């Protein structure tokens, strides 16, 4: 069997270059990502879900949410 080095094939070189470009793009722009305007509602809903579980399903306030 002939095992050539991985980067001898053109598509491996192309894939490696593409992954390098994506990696650089992520490093350059990662500080631009943030929360969305509806994030606070989801945080409150998540806390309600945790409260529902910690009260062993007794607290039914979680079911009053209509927009999640």
Neighbours of 51 (CB within 10 A): 13
- State pLDDT tens for residues 31-57: 877 777 878 888 888 888 899 999 998
- State pLDDT tens for residues 10-25: 788 888 899 999 999 9
Tell me what the pLDDT averaged over the chain comes to: 82
Domain ranges of the chain: 9-64
Please check the confidence at residue 2 and state whether its pLDDT lies above 70.
no
40 token code pair: 């606070």
Determine the pLDDT at residue 35. Answer: 72
Instruction: Convert 4-33 to b/e letters by CB count within 10 Å (16 or more is b).
Output: eeeeeeeeeeeeeeeeeeeeeeeeeeeeee
Is pLDDT larger for residue 65 or for residue 53?
53
């Amino acid at each position: 069997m002939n095992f050539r080095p991985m980067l001898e094939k053109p598509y491996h070189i192309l894939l490696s270059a593409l992954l390098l470009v994506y990696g650089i793009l992520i490093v350059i722009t990662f500080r631009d990502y943030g929360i969305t305007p509806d994030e606070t509602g989801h945080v409150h809903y998540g806390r309600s879900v945790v409260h529902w579980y910690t009260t062993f399903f007794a607290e039914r306030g979680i079911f009053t949410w209509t927009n999640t």
